[in-house]
Amino acid sequence: MAIGMTEAQRVAFETDGFFILEDFLTAAETQRLSDAADEVVGRIQAEKGLAPETHFQVRNALAQHEAFLDLVDHPRMLPLVVDAIGWNIQIRTSHLDYRPPYPETMVAGDVGVGDGEDQEAGYRNVSWHPDLASPHIFEGPSLDGRLPFMEIKVFYTLFDMTESNCGNLWLAPGSFKRTPQELKDMGRKVPEEESLELKLPAGSAVLWRTATWHCVGPNTSNKTRKIFHMGYHWRWLRPTDYIEQDPELIERSSPIRRQLLGAMATGGDPLGAESDVAPSSQYWQPKNPEDVPLRAWAEAQGKIQTAK
Ligand SMILES: O=C(O)CCC(=O)C(=O)O
């Protein structure tokens, strides 16, 4: 039973692989996140001596600013996340992408093909791809060559992305049901009629299956692309951005946030109560309900919904 998702959103998620929530964040939330992006980027630029026009991405960005951390369990997004992927979850990755306008003389390649000066200049992630399909991850044996459902991300726009060619995220609706091989065979060119350039106001959100083919368009506008992705996957997979989050961060987090940050309840042994003779990863089949407080939360939400 859905605790947050409408029937139309469920159908879009199953059919297209995503649904869009325009103006999801309040103006104050968007401003706080946009300011946080500037602050974090400014700090990293200063620390690393990067020029202001450098494009870069910050991973495990949730640990860089409280505003980003607060997106982990955003009260209006969490029900949608749990409806999409369940309660036995944690953060796989959180990333901020900061992409200043291209230099005026730069000639962008075809959208998502990775053949232009922008690609050569290191503007990463422009090419069409599904996530998790590299030879190291899931290009192993599979029943029919398709990717299993492994994760979702929530994409947040922290700048006005309503125009074309301002570093828009492109998605190919329904492509999570197609094989990565098919995309390769297409020369990584997705026909216009099979793709969608997202044009969204600041503060919008998109909940999407990351097996959906996606790419980032060029930024030939005069504004900086500032966006955030929060990725959720199952606790029995391994995160990419961290092994363990900072103990101080875990210590001051609520139980649900702790779970999402990949931690056990305080004092819990990750290998269970009989770890000496019968170790059993509590990331697989948690015995202590305190290790997965999101379950009780989801059940309580369900009851509240039913009672209405
Ligand atoms: O920056 C973006 O919006 C997309 C990034 C991306 O393609 C990825 O992380 O796989």
Instruction: Give pTM, 2 decimals.
Output: 0.95
Can you tell me whether residue 248 is helix, strand or coil? Answer: helix
Question: pLDDT per residue over 150-202, tens digit each?
Answer: 999 999 999 999 999 999 999 999 999 999 999 999 998 999 999 999 999 99
Of the pLDDT bands very low, low, confident and very high (cuts 50, 70, 90), residue 141 is low
Question: pLDDT per residue over 232-254, tens digit each?
Answer: 999 999 999 999 999 999 999 99
pLDDT of residue 307: 52
CATH C-level class of 7-267: mainly beta
Please report, for the chain, the start and end positions of each structural domain, with discontinuous segments joined by +.
7-267
Can you tell me whether residue 91 is helix, strand or coil? Answer: strand
Contact 183, 130 (CB under 8 A): yes
Closest residue to atom 6 of ligand 1, CA basis? 125
pLDDT of residue 81: 98
Can you tell me whether residue 297 is helix, strand or coil? Answer: helix
Going by the DSSP 8-state scheme, the letter that residue 97 receives in this structure is E
pLDDT of residue 108: 87
Cβ of 154 below 6 Å from ligand 1: no
| Beta-bridge mates of residue 98 | 56, 226
Q: How far is the CA of 122 from the centre of ligand 1 (A)?
A: 14
Taking the C-alpha atoms of residue 158 and residue 137, their distance in angstroms, rounded to an integer, is 30
Cβ of 61 below 6 Å from ligand 1: no
Residue 51 in this model has a pLDDT that exceeds 70: yes
Cβ of 198 below 6 Å from ligand 1: no
Cβ of 216 below 6 Å from ligand 1: yes
Of the pLDDT bands very low, low, confident and very high (cuts 50, 70, 90), residue 110 is confident
Nearest one of 92, 91, 95, 23 to 65, comparing CA atoms? 95
Q: Which amino acid is residue 199, in one-letter code? A: K
Taking 3-state DSSP, the helix, strand and coil percentages for the chain, each rounded to the nearest 5, stand at 30, 20, 55
